[in-house]
């Protein structure tokens, strides 16, 4: 029996949905009453500048999300707002508790399913949660091997949301590479 192979005329399966996962930028250290709870830690000046450069790199790569959703923690909100200004100033930025530290894929995926018209989503959050979400979406049990640096980003393509099969990891990019895109 002959094996079926993809011919040169066959199109590869098209992704219906693109999910960019990005870790927030560099934030201040929690020090006494200055920053209070972890919730209120802002980006540092260096962190904000690096996020702006990362946003410019993403823009040069053609990244145009139609929705940015972020953890409600200040450092993530600031990261999302800076990216929105550069990438998609006309599209909404929303917060979601499903991206707080300690979140799970099972908490985040329904949020995506509730917004079926959003096909290119940029989610800003925290580690190790984003790496675990990425691993879950691509069917890997090696979440510990993935790690997004502050400002790092990955792209996962999915045929649909909620996923009925595993997605494909398209890229996993360090913040240094994104800042250097020209």
Strands (E), the chain: 17-23, 67-70, 93-95, 120-125, 153-158, 168-173
* Tokens standing for residue 113: 């399913």
The arithmetic mean of pLDDT across residues 162-175, rounded, is 92
CA-to-CA distance for 42 and 23, rounded, in angstroms? 14
pLDDT tens for each residue of 81-109:
999 999 988 888 999 999 999 988 888 99
Is residue 170 scored above 90 in pLDDT? yes
160 vs 39: CA distance, rounded Å:
33
Query: Does the pTM of the predicted model rise above 0.85?
Result: yes
Among left, alpha and beta (phi > 0; psi -120 to 50; other), residue 36 is: left
- Do the Cβ atoms of 21 and 151 come closer than 8 Å? no
Task: Tell me the domains of the chain and their CATH numbers.
Answer: 17-34+43-180 (3.40.50.1240)
What is the chain's Cα-based Rg? Answer: 17
| Banded pLDDT at 164 (limits 50, 70, 90) | confident
Closest to 103 measured CA to CA, from 138, 140, 76 = 76
CB atoms closer than 10 angstroms to residue 11: 6
Give the 3-state secondary structure of residue 111.
Answer: helix
Beta bridge partners of 120: 18
Both tokens of residue 89? 């100033």
Straight-line distance from the first to the last Cα atom of the chain, in angstroms, rounded to the nearest whole number: 50
């Amino acid at each position: 029996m002959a094996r079926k192979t993809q011919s040169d005329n066959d199109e590869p399966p098209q992704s219906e949905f693109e999910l960019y996962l990005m870790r927030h930028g560099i934030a201040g250290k929690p020090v006494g009453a200055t920053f209070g709870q972890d919730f209120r830690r802002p980006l540092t000046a260096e962190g904000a500048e690096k996020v702006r450069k990362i946003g410019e790199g993403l823009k040069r790569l053609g990244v145009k999300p139609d929705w940015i959703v972020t953890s409600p923690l200040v450092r993530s909100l600031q990261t999302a707002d800076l990216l929105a200004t550069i990438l998609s100033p006309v599209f909404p930025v929303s917060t979601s508790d499903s991206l707080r530290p300690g979140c799970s894929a099972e908490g985040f995926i329904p949020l995506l399913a509730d917004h079926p018209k959003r096909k290119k989503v940029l989610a800003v959050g925290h580690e190790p949660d984003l790496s675990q979400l990425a691993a879950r979406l691509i069917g890997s049990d090696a979440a510990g091997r993935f790690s997004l640096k502050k400002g790092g980003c990955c792209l996962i393509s999915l045929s649909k949301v909620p996923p009925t099969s595993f997605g494909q990891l398209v890229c996993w990019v360090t913040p240094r590479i994104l800042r250097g895109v020209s």
